[in-house]
Amino acid sequence: MQLADKVCVVAAGASGIGRALAERFADEGAAGVVVADLDEVGALRVAAEIGERHRGPVDLFCANAGVGVGTDEQTSEDVWDVAFGVNVRAHVHAARLLVPEWLERARAGSSPRPRPPGC
């Protein structure tokens, strides 16, 4: 991978697949910003601010966060709401936070960023 000095955000990067991704990005030279918070919007905002302040703008976002639910007949409306918030809404908020800056950089002629497998 070509991640030297790139700022990477891994949603839910504290364990499992997210941690493995964060470790791989770091091994590849990335300046990784790991996000592990149920408040994905707030956590992403903080990660973006930290990345901007310390290493530059976020170059890569890996939408790793997600929760599982039971089957329709077993799952309450409240559980579905939580799952939708983590599995869908959080990633939409991430896109709203990060994509405008990426588009601005693309219009300014920045080179495209690498996209690691699985992200």
Q: Full-prediction pTM beyond 0.75?
A: no
Q: Which tokens go with 38?
A: 């149920």
50 within a domain of the structure (yes/no): yes
| pLDDT, tens only, 67-99 | 888 777 888 889 888 888 888 888 888 888 888
> Looking at the domain assignment, is residue 117 inside a domain?
no
Apex 72 CA angle, 66 and 74, nearest 5 = 95
Query: What strands lie across the sheet with 7-11, from one edge to the other?
Result: 31-35, 7-11, 58-62
Sequence-distant (6+) residues with CB within 8 A of 77 are none
In a domain, 113, yes or no: no
* Structure tokens given for 19: 């941690």
Asked whether the beta carbons of 34 and 51 are under 8 A apart, the reply is no
How many domains does the structure of the chain reveal? 1
* Number of neighbouring beta carbons within 10 Å of residue 13: 25
> Side-chain half-sphere of 65: how many Cα atoms within 13 Å?
28
What is the average pLDDT value for the chain, to the nearest integer? Answer: 77
Around Cβ 21, how many Cβ atoms within 10 Å? 23
Domain CATH number, residue 28: 3.40.50.720
Whether the CA torsion 74, 80, 83, 88 is positive or negative: it is positive
Specify if 14 maps to a domain: yes
List, for residues 26-72, the tens digit of each pLDDT value.
888 887 666 666 666 666 766 666 666 666 678 888 888 888 887 77
